[in-house]
Chain A
Amino acid sequence: MIYANPNTEGSLVNFKERYENFIGGEWVPPVKGQYLEVKSPLTGKVFTSVARSTDEDIELALDAAHAAKHDWAHSSTTTRANILNKIANRIEENLEMIAVAETWDNGKAVRETLNADIPLVVDHFRYFAGAIRAQQGAISEIDDDTVAYHFHEPIGVVGQIIPWNFPLLMAAWKIAPALAAGNVIVMKPAEQTPASMMILLELIQDLIPKGVLNIVNGIGAETGKSLATNPRINKVAFTGSTGVGRLIMQYATENIIPVTLELGGKSPNIFFPDVMEKDDEFLDKAIEGLVLFALNSGEICTCPSRALIHEDIYEEFMKRALERIKAIKMGNPLDTETMMGAQASQQQLDKIMSYMKIGKDEGATILIGGDQKMLDGDLAGGYYVSPTVFKGSNKMRIFQEEIFGPVLSVTTFKTFEEAMEIANDTEFGLGAGVWSRNMDQAYRAVRAIQAGRVWTNTYHQYPAHAAFGGYKKSGIGRENHLMMLEHYQQTKCMLVSYKQTPMGFF
């Protein structure tokens, strides 16, 4: 089926002409009255606008957050968990509508928002609702008379800045653990994709105590910087590039606050020769594993954007993979039959297309794609790129730089050692994939790869309760797991002496 475009007859979603900031439970216009236009990547046309916030707006949001901080921090974990569960339920009840809004805002195919993004958002809130109720402090019995009690306490007011590739899922990854742990939030969504968050907020605003979650829109260099440098935040969490990640860390040094960062990747996806030992479902799964570079139009930090294929199977394996890539159906992202949608912005389209030239200039061979995809009608102004595969070598820019598009760079290896060397020859260490029928070999590969998440005989699964985060320049911290709670908590140690006599020093 094809969902109707938002704001047309029969659509599940109607965006307002303009959205204010969400501060203290109210919709508050930006102090300076400036707004940013938001375009849909499907059509390239403006469909709404959001606040272009300044220091003054961040101060308002922090006023609201600080006013709400005490009560939220002292609410019971049951209260917080119940609210997170209610948010999850409300999202689930409106899943289709939210999925359409997300597709319209970001460009990704609706089959992904319906089956991955939004169900994962729902599950994430439920997971942290459960995790916070199950979390325990720790007691250390130092000696017969001395006991250290360790309590988890909220950090306080946290600043969160998220990217445009999964506008709602990245928001959920940050909001759910922070709220569960008793923090209040000031969040800045990405300026490219702020609109689906507005739809979501309208839906759940009655469930959240005033000031506990504040959303302020604007440009990174203005609103983002204002938030990240403000002495009234106690922690900052960021997902984005290494350049900004380093900047966020610099800002954090000014106030000595903790940061968690989820940065880039250039994930190797390694296919050992035994995947082709049989022509069976496992081989079929492995071929799909290579083609997953096209998921989310390639706009994922863990995009398996470097395929390392053993030279003995390269010809036959790639032949079959290319057939599968050729079968990727592009078209209206709101059509449930469409397999790959639009890129998120004109700028992203331009960058991806510049890599087509870079790859060719460096001597890589295009095996498929390489062109901008032109669609008809309404979609003629949208940002579409054909899934593309380059064959080349790991020192090329297309192997070293994160393209953030449906562009795969393929190379071959001869030995296990060479595969590991190529896999680790990158500044990043976020994701990786290992495909082998021999689990001993897979195990050794997984342990040798410097990356936080190594999918083994699978790829691109993001279940809650599986830790996600980077080695090397891919970041600090582990999201998607209860260990994220501690990234949003202080440890209070209460050290008690039960001895009735003095220590004897004075």
Chain B
Amino acid sequence: MGGRALIVTLLGIMLLSASVFYSITRSSADLMKNVDQYYSRQSAQNIAQSGANLAIQRLSTDQTWRQGYTLMSMFGGNVTVRLVDTTFKSKQVVKIVSTGFCDYGKSSERRETSTAYVPSGFVPPVVRGSITAFGPLDDTISDMLIDGRNWNYAMTAVTSSSGVFAVSTGAAVFVNTQSAKLGGTTYTTTPATDIVPAFPNDVRVVETNSSWLNGWPTTPDAALGYPNGTLKNIAVNKLTPGSQYVTAYAQLVFPLRGVTYIEVPNGTIWTKQKLGANPEGILVFHSPNHDAYWNNITTTAGPFKGLMVMDNLFHIHMDILGGLALLNPKTISGKCNGNANHYVRYSTETIQKATQSSMQIVDGISWYE
């Protein structure tokens, strides 16, 4: 073989080698690209999940928050979160759609979506009036202001045409014995009409002979539509912030928050016990025979905001924003006045706020991703 031929041969081999090298380099690049894409997918997924969790956290402190986020920077990517009110499995939920972006706006952009259905707070069907009871309420309301119109949580405004009765009772007759001012919302007109509290009261803000499909609830759980033992479980295990389970007044920790479940022996009477300052949440006062009786209740400051579910209550020397339901059909009667400066005002927002966190325990959050 001549020297020239050898050179040509070597050049040929070098050319082929270069081609093979190019192939190897391209394969390596493909391998790395594949790894990059896997990483991007995972990052986008993590960002989407974190965005949803952030929104859930925000919702737990502000139930009305629906603004969401738009392309917020997170973990080297971006997240967009939208919140809408909808129904899921026939229940009211807030649907959180969180989209995580990796390399947003680039050709390598990867996006993943994480959807969470967060149970909304709700108004239990037992709340038919600002004060609801199966027994007579003639004396229980004393001379208070009982307003079934739908107040907001800050108590600065009424949402029109969305309230309830002032009082709802299973008794056949209601007599406003002590000149209480009663107001509420009547659905006998279209649209519903809000009625300002007054005495003598408009008869449309009072419900008598209220009937219940499954009978009057005898337990706090039944009143809220929860499986039996749910509220107690939340309180005992402190599953929502501030929740507590007590069997004696001295065990109560103030301020009341979350689910406060007070379980006492049958026939217990508490007299002139105070609820502390600015109590909130769901307050249960109950005995196995649903005959626990709180005689004369006050707070040390501010109104109670939320839902009170008690076996029996008389002498309400405090303000309530939300609702009150009495489980014992034998409500207390007798003279009780001097409460004209106190109120019970219905508030959907406040009751939803009270039931929101417990709903998440009961139904959990559903994730679709």
Same complex origin of A and B:
no
Could you list which residues of chain A lie within 8 angstroms of chain B, going by C-beta atoms? none
Residues of B within 8 A of A (CB): none
